[in-house]
Amino acid sequence: MTAGQPTRRSNSLPADPFTKSSARPIRFRFFYHFDKWLAAWYTLEPMMSSKRTFDLRTALIIGGAALLGAAWAAFNLYRAGGNGALGATAALVWTIFATPFFTFWGWLLAKRAEGWLAAFVCFCIYFFAVFIGARLELLIQGQPVAAANEHALYFRLTLIIQLIAGVVVAAQRSYSRGTMQVPTEV
């Protein structure tokens, strides 16, 4: 053999770290690992899974606070006459603000460590429910009818949207993923 000519490999295992044990060279390491990752990602039953539990206490506290806030908002809407009358500004503010406010305090009571997350999520519920309620009122009734009714549908829709969001938050926060990995039984 001369220098520069390729040599034949024997049937023994190669010493090259870029090869499999079957002596077939792996040309692209990324794709080899990507295939393993993809196969592990799409398995129907993983070897290890984290245990998901339902915390009834958290669900009752946050959901109960959301329901209490919605009841307070509905009472204030009833007190305002069911529409956007000019003389009932304080009652209408409570109609829009009560459900996220009570949900925040319930969340803080249930999970004190998630205070900033609770504040952010409840602010988003408060902020976006107003716009969604206004848009739905415009789509359902139209501007002239909504103005003639003093936006009665808007206040009801906003209250319903906020209540649904509060119950969804209660359900989502009550499902917690455990920190201990437990093997699944096969």
Among 52-66, 81-95, 162-176, the least confident range:
81-95
Backbone angles phi, psi at 180, to 5 degrees: -90, 130
pLDDT digits (tens, 9 = 90+) for 102-135: 999 999 999 999 999 999 999 999 999 999 999 9
Question: Which residue bears the tokens 């900033």?
Answer: 116
More confident residue, 79 or 160: 160
| Alpha-carbon span 132 to 124, nearest angstrom | 12
Compute the average pLDDT of residues 135-157. Answer: 88
Task: Please give the mean pLDDT across all residues of the chain.
Answer: 79
What pLDDT was estimated at residue 13? 53
